[in-house]
Amino acid sequence: MKRLGGILFVVALFGALFYYKKNQQNTNEIKESNKSPLSWKQTPEEISELCNQAKQLLLTQLESIANTPANGQNFDSTIKEFESVTSNFVFVTDPLTFHKYVSPDQKLRNAADECEKSVSKIFVDIFTRKDLYDVFSNIKELKPKLDKIDQKLLDETIDGYLRNGLALDDNKRKEFIKMNKRLVDLTAQFRTRLNEWKDPTKLTRAELEGMPEDFIKGLKKDGDHFILTLKYPHIYPFLQDAKDANARKKLMTKFLKRGGTKNRDLLQEAVQIRFDLAKLLGYPTHAAFKLSKKMAKNPETVQAFLTSVRAKLQQKGKQDIAELLKLKSKDIGKKASSLKPWERSYYANQLKKTKYQVDNQKIKEYFPLEKVLSGMFEIYQNMLGVKFVEIVDAPKWHNTVKAYAVMDQGSDDIRSYFYMDLFPRDGKYGHAAAFTLISGRTMKDGSYKKPVSAIVANFNAPVGDNPSLLLHSQVETLFHEFGHIMHQILTTASYASFSGTSVKRDFVEAPSQMLENWVWKKEGLAKISAHYKDGNPLPDDLVNKLLAAKNANIGIRYLRQLFYASFDMALYTRTTRERFDTSKLYRKLEKEITMIAGLEGTFPEASFGHVMSGYDAGYYGYLWSEVYAADMFTRFEKEGLFNPETGRAYRKWILEPGGTEDPFELITKFLGRMPNQTAFFESIGVAN
């Protein structure tokens, strides 16, 4: 999940005239007759100009709020107006900055990057303005009678200022602002270097032994050599299937050096700055600062959680490694005593093939992207009471992108929109994520701003007559990210600050993690699978084998997640600002927790975008959220996977409220009881 820090420019707003037609598959489409949700025709110069215009308008509006006479100061004229003008600003700038992550045009990406940095810095300025803080503090002192959500907006606005140093004296506040703006530059550089990173590998046909023909056919060539990029559709299948260990090591070495030593330096400086900022605010560490606003509340709770999970998984991890070492020993003809990083995925895949008779490359033939999408749409539509209708001929930033309108079942009124950008290309965001483009919120005239989101991924593109085929793990990723989309576009939150996925960060993954479960159920697989040649669904014997292999190497997999979370916490629980070797720390924890030594000479943290920004002191949230996700799924297991009443309850209690209520309370209301960890440990085959 990714939320942009600003706002989108909308040349064409909603209120467009559409008409329906039936396509050959008898599914609804909307043909654009006048306008579409967003326009993507900006030039680099226009992005810069529009970004600057939006900033100037915002500053004028904020000046008006700051100068509101005392007798005219009330909640509506100050706090609510502040929420409105900043939301309008983000509404204008988010589509502009989104170009940075998806545009095929380098100049557009550069202009969007500059806009994004400018937007981030203006928010640093806004939340360190004492004149605005004084006005808002005055409203709090008046103790107006507000409903629960308005009171939450008031409290969180004030808290936002305090967390940005407004209680500091002038000199310290200036220092705080300077460091925060430097942090904006560091994180922007880090992301840009990752998105633009290129270090292709040239391999011979012999080095590709073990790879399926459709993979090889999809590769570009340079003479007799085949070119592999470091994009996910190349790197992951190759590490799983290529028989040449040296070739796997070569590619993995490059993969773990993405971002270069420059990114490692940027991360180290960011860690130092965050420590300094936390100390200025009176917190012992950055983790203590960040966690004070999350479900976990403090680092001690997180450490206890990670320690508890690790204790339950360590023995399973040892058993998993021993099983893979047996395969390696058989493969190399002598007893193997250790597993190398470039061997982990390969032998895990061989285990699935030999022990469970699960061949990922064969199974993906049953998951052509179009079938997966249509089945996924059917599941989500029926469960959540909505329908998705493609907008044909909608303006797009790339010709492979698709746009959809969302309506409630039984209604032709459009409630939201989403885009799908699913194939890799140069300069594009390299992971899978759901971007909020427009946040849903109640407007001054009482209307509701229609949310707009985009799912961005990097699946295998179609090659010739062969469709895009997804690995089952990619199907799971698609369900996960589309779950984020549902969370964003089905929101009913009245304020943008609480809209969609604007929830506590250690809860944000839970709603979409819960929705992954359908790809692990026979009934769900029946809806999303069909062989790309004959249309037959995934056979029962393959379904049974796939499900039997679900928890294969579960110890290794979860210990790796624990390692990532522990590395993140180690970075941000440091009680000193002295510079340190992040690579040394990374390798130390990797070996201790996963029991598999890392690849010497690499620096994986240089491409660990989560800990650089967004999930800093928060990566544990993936595991933390998964506990709640597994528990929420128990209601579907009890009442039926496709029970519409259960689905509507999930929409009502989990997806629609956004950040208007505490996540623990929402989960409790949905379950009708207090949540617990039992379902999580049962789901991964580990005793609780």
Task: Find the catalytic residue in 81, 481, 509, 605.
Answer: 481
pLDDT band at 19 (very low <50, low <70, confident <90, very high): very low
pLDDT of residue 464: 86
Alpha-helical runs (H) found in 67-105: 81-102
Number of helices (H), then strands (E), in the chain: 26, 13
pLDDT in tens, 52-107: 999 999 999 999 999 999 999 999 999 999 999 999 999 999 999 999 999 999 99
481 is catalytic: yes
pLDDT of residue 90: 97
pLDDT of residue 298: 98
pLDDT at residue 10 greater than cutoff 50: no
Spatial CB neighbours of 415, under 8 Å, sequence gap ≥ 6: 386, 406, 407, 408, 450, 489, 490
pLDDT of residue 5: 45
pLDDT of residue 22: 33
Count of CB atoms situated within 10 Å of the CB of 621 = 24
* Rounded mean pLDDT, 630-640: 98
CB 17 within 8 A of CB 101: no
pLDDT in tens, 419-463: 999 999 999 999 999 999 999 999 999 999 999 999 999 999 998
pLDDT at residue 35 greater than cutoff 80: no
* φ, ψ (nearest 5 deg) of residue 387: -140, 145
- Distances in Å between the alpha carbon of 493 and those of 116, 235, 643? 25, 40, 25
DSSP string for residues in 404-430: EEEEETT---EEEEEEEE-S--TTS--
pLDDT of residue 570: 98
Spatial CB neighbours of 325, under 8 Å, sequence gap ≥ 6: 336, 337, 338, 339
pLDDT band at 27 (very low <50, low <70, confident <90, very high): very low
pLDDT at residue 33 greater than cutoff 80: no
Q: Quote the percentage of the chain above a pLDDT of 90.
A: 92
Residue with tokens 């609780």: 688
pLDDT at residue 194 greater than cutoff 50: yes
**Which of 440, 663, 498 is closest to 157 using CA atoms?**
498
What would the 3-class secondary structure string for 179-208 be? Answer: HHHHHHHHHHHHHHHHHHCCCCEEECCHHH
Count of CB atoms situated within 10 Å of the CB of 600 = 9
Write down the mean pLDDT value for the chain.
Answer: 93
Residue with tokens 């483009």: 437
pLDDT of residue 34: 38
Position 144, amino acid: P
Rounded Cα–Cα distance for residues 96 and 53 (Å): 12
> Of residues 7 and 147, which shows the higher confidence score?
147
Rounded Cα–Cα distance for residues 583 and 453 (Å): 36
pLDDT of residue 1: 62
